[in-house]
Amino acid sequence: MNYPTTIGIVTTREKAHAVLDHLPEDRVGAALAALEAVEGRDTSLEAILARHGEERLSREEFDHRFGSLPTDDEG
């Protein structure tokens, strides 16, 4: 049988998101480290941005692009 290759990719991503969404915050770092070990790629924010040709915005650049964002008075 020939199955579309996108089914496996979407299913894997959906499973990964479901697992990460249900993990307690203190376990997410360990899950990402395990993924990094299995996949052999860096899962840090800087590495993800670099793979997509992006870089982190400075506070000034963020404010210039997005202005003042609404707050919920929590800090």
pLDDT in tens, 2-26: 544 444 444 566 777 777 788 888 8
pLDDT at 28: 82
Summarize the confidence of residues 58-65 as an average pLDDT: 88
Residue 74 in domain: no
Model's pTM, two decimal places? 0.37
Domain that holds residue 45: 5-66
Give the Cα separation of 16 and 31 in Å (integer). Answer: 10
Residue 1 has pLDDT above 60, yes or no: no
In the chain, how many domains are there?
1
For residues 35 and 57, which has the higher predicted lDDT (pLDDT)?
57
Tell me whether residue 16 is in a domain: yes
Residue 30 falls within a domain, yes or no? yes
Indicate whether 49 belongs to any domain. Answer: yes
Q: 10 Å Cβ neighbour count for 69?
A: 7
In a domain, 58, yes or no: yes
User: Residue 18 domain-assigned?
Assistant: yes
Residue 71, domain member (yes or no)? no
